[in-house]
């Protein structure tokens, strides 16, 4: 099993990506509102944190919020199909600032219910 994480800066693409998930057989995902460190520093209480001039000018145009999507997938094959589907959805867009994806192997998954008490 694998967990696939996507940090999506272009939040307008969220619906398209979730539709692609369904098309390739992803049964569920969790979507979180998230914010990168740079965005938090520039748009939060850390506005006065000193940054190098070029970094500050780059961050002034950054979006303060993004979406983090994660899902647990049964096989490496499904990970590859899902990644390909996301990349296909982003194909015509400039890669700069879209976000990034990564996967990690999962050792075990535990269901949670009231009947699983120790």
pLDDT at 90: 84
| Parallel, antiparallel or unpaired: strands 99-105 and 66-73 | unpaired
CA distance 41 to 86: 29
pLDDT score at 109: 85
Q: Which residues pair with 104 in a beta bridge?
A: 3
Q: Among residues 99, 111, 103, which one has the least CA distance to residue 65? A: 99
Q: Measuring CA to CA, which residue among 92, 88, 69 is closest to residue 80? A: 88
Domains observed in the chain:
2-34+66-108 (3.30.70.120)
Task: Specify the higher pLDDT residue, 112 or 58.
Answer: 112
**For 35, phi and psi rounded to 5 degrees?**
-145, 130
Beta bridge partners of 99: 8
If residue 27 lies in a helix (H) or strand (E), which one and from where to where?
none
pTM score = 0.75
d(C-alpha 76, C-alpha 80), whole Å: 6
pLDDT band, residue 35 (cuts 50/70/90): confident
Nearest-5° Cα angle at 57, 43 to 96: 90
Is residue 41 helix, strand or coil?
A: helix
């Amino acid at each position: 099993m694998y967990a696939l994480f996507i940090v999506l800066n272009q939040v307008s693409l969220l619906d398209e990506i979730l539709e692609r998930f369904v098309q390739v057989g992803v049964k569920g995902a969790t979507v979180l509102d998230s914010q990168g460190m740079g965005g938090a520093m520039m748009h939060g209480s850390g506005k006065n944190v000193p940054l190098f001039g070029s970094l500050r000018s780059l961050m002034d145009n950054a979006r303060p919020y993004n979406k983090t999507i994660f899902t647990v997938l049964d096989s490496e094959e499904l990970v590859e199909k899902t990644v390909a589907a996301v990349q296909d959805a982003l194909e015509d867009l400039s890669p700069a600032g879209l976000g990034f994806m990564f996967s990690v192997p999962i050792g075990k998954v535990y269901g949670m219910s009231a009947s699983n008490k120790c």
